[in-house]
Amino acid sequence: MAAQELNAIARSIVADHKGILAADESTGTIKKRFDSIEVESTEENRRAYRNLLFTTPGFEDYVGGVILYDETLRQASDDGTQFPELLAAKGVVPGIKVDTGAHELAGHPGEKVTEGLDGLRARFEEYHALGARFSKWRAVITIGDGIPSDACIHVNAHALARYAALSQEAGIVPIVEPEVLMDADNTVERCLEVTSRTLRAVFDELDRQGVALEGMLLKPNMVISGKGCPTQASSSQIAELTLDCFLRHVPAMVPGIVFLSGGQSEVEATTNLDAINRIGGPWPLSFSYGRALQASALQAWKGDPANVEAGQEAFLHRARMNARAVAGDWSADLEQAVPA
């Protein structure tokens, strides 16, 4: 598809301070989330939970795209409308996670490479027919003693670019997600160094493989301290280092940067996004959050149909708070405010 049409889709997803809901938890990951609220992970419970999210009145004011999992793309809402159709009718672009997960990288203990390229062209054709207009592929880079290796960064960048080229060929906007994990005890400076190396390699490969930068979105981690680091960077430090890194490595032609939350709490993810947007850059700087948009909604719902409205309120609140952060006009007191 022409890069111009891909560009129009990408821009519509992040228009008007909107972001993305990552609801593409694989069957294994959603089980972990359901375990935390003691709900059994059956196909029907997964459908009911996604139904709660996607039928939330008004969420489309803050969310321009939803990433679905293969199973979810094929499921329908309570009234029988297929989820992609339901979302599209609200002006929310349906997306699809297409990688098949991160697996151990041979010869590199502790490092991973994302799989899913085999047969991907045919899968993209089917996903397009089912209504997907954007897609996601997540690469995982782990910080540790002597890692990440150049090999790990290189193979992941290569796979991201191969995926992105196939996605664009199918008329589907790729979301290129190279995630530097925040689970270790590294400093923020080390995260800056690894994120810089990773982004350099990713854009090098995207260029080499002819991916149209104007027809993609980038989904990166923020430059942030590892969870176990005794000194935690402040949100203004995170904002400064994140923008410094992205200004150096991400071409201005990319139509949007949508951060992952990566294990930050809901309010942390909003605070940091707001700080980033108070500085700003040449691209829309928005969110593509999974946990940071869903944690309190899951807790409110707990699998009980009587709590659907409470779950929807919690989700809508987070979506609204993050859209305010994209505008750079969020403040902590809004968290207490009664929803309008």
Question: Binding residue for ligand 13P (CB under 6 A) from 289, 301, 315, 330?
Answer: 289
Q: Are 210 and 191 in contact (CB under 8 A)?
A: no
Q: Are 286 and 326 in contact (CB under 8 A)?
A: yes
Question: Binding residue for ligand 13P (CB under 6 A) from 94, 116, 174, 262?
Answer: 262
Q: Does the annotation mark 177 as catalytic? A: yes
Q: Does 260 bind ligand 13P (CB under 6 A)?
A: yes
CB of 192 to ligand 13P, least distance (A): 19
Residues constituting the chain: 340
CB of 177 to ligand 13P, least distance (A): 6
Containing 242, the helix (H) or strand (E) segment is helix 235-249
Question: Binding residue for ligand 13P (CB under 6 A) from 18, 46, 47, 138?
Answer: 138
Q: Does 261 bind ligand 13P (CB under 6 A)?
A: yes
CB atoms within 10 A of CB 340: 5
Q: Does the annotation mark 219 as catalytic? A: yes
Angle between helical axes of 235-249 and 266-279 (0-180°, round to 10): 60
Q: 21 or 316: whose CB is closer to ligand 13P?
A: 21
Q: Does 123 bind ligand 13P (CB under 6 A)?
A: no
Residues from 155 through 184 that contact ligand 13P (CB under 6 A): 177
| DSSP secondary structure, 16-80, as one string | GG-EEEE----HHHHHHHHHHTT----HHHHHHHHHHHHT-TTGGGTEEEEEE-HHHHT-B-TTS
Q: Does 315 bind ligand 13P (CB under 6 A)?
A: no
CB of 111 to ligand 13P, least distance (A): 18
Question: Looking at the annotation, which residues are catalytic?
Answer: 177, 219
Binding site for ligand 13P (CB under 6 A): 22, 138, 177, 260-262, 289-292
